[in-house]
A and B are shown apart, each in its own frame.
Chain A
Amino acid sequence: MTLIGRGLALLGLILSPSAYAEWQVNLMPGVTEISRAVYDLHMTIFWICVAIGVVVFGIMLYSIINHRKSRGAKAHNFHENTLVEIIWTIVPFFILIGMAVPATATLIKMYDKGEAELDIQVTGFQWKWRYHYLGEDIDFFSSLSTPREQIANESEKGEHYLLEVDNPLVIPVGKKVRLLLTSNDVIHSWWVPGLAVKKDAIPGFINEAWTVVTEPGIYRGQCAELCGKDHGFMPIVVDVRSEEDYKLWLAEMKQAKAQASDAATQDWTLADLMEKGEEVYNRTCAACHQVTGEGIPGAFPALKNNPIMVAEPSAHIDVVLNGKAGTAMQAFRDQLDAVELAAVITYERNAWGNNSGDLVTPAQISKLKQ
Chain B
Amino acid sequence: MNEMYNVSVSPHLRSETGTNSIMRDVAIALLPPCLFGIYNFGYKALLLIVVSVLAAIVTEFVYEKLVKRPVTVGDFSAVVTGMILAVNLPATLPLWMAALGSVFAILVVKQLFGGLGQNFMNPALAGRCFLLISFGSQMTAFPAVDGISAATPLTAMKAGESVDLLQMFIGNYSGCIGETSVLAILLGAGYLLLKKVISIRIPGIYILSTMVFIVVLNLVTGNGMPTGGYLLAHLFGGGLLIGAFFMATDYVTSPITPMGQVIYALLIGFLTALFRVVGKSAEGVSYAIIISNMAVPLIEKATVPTPFGRKKGKGGAKA
A and B physically associate? no
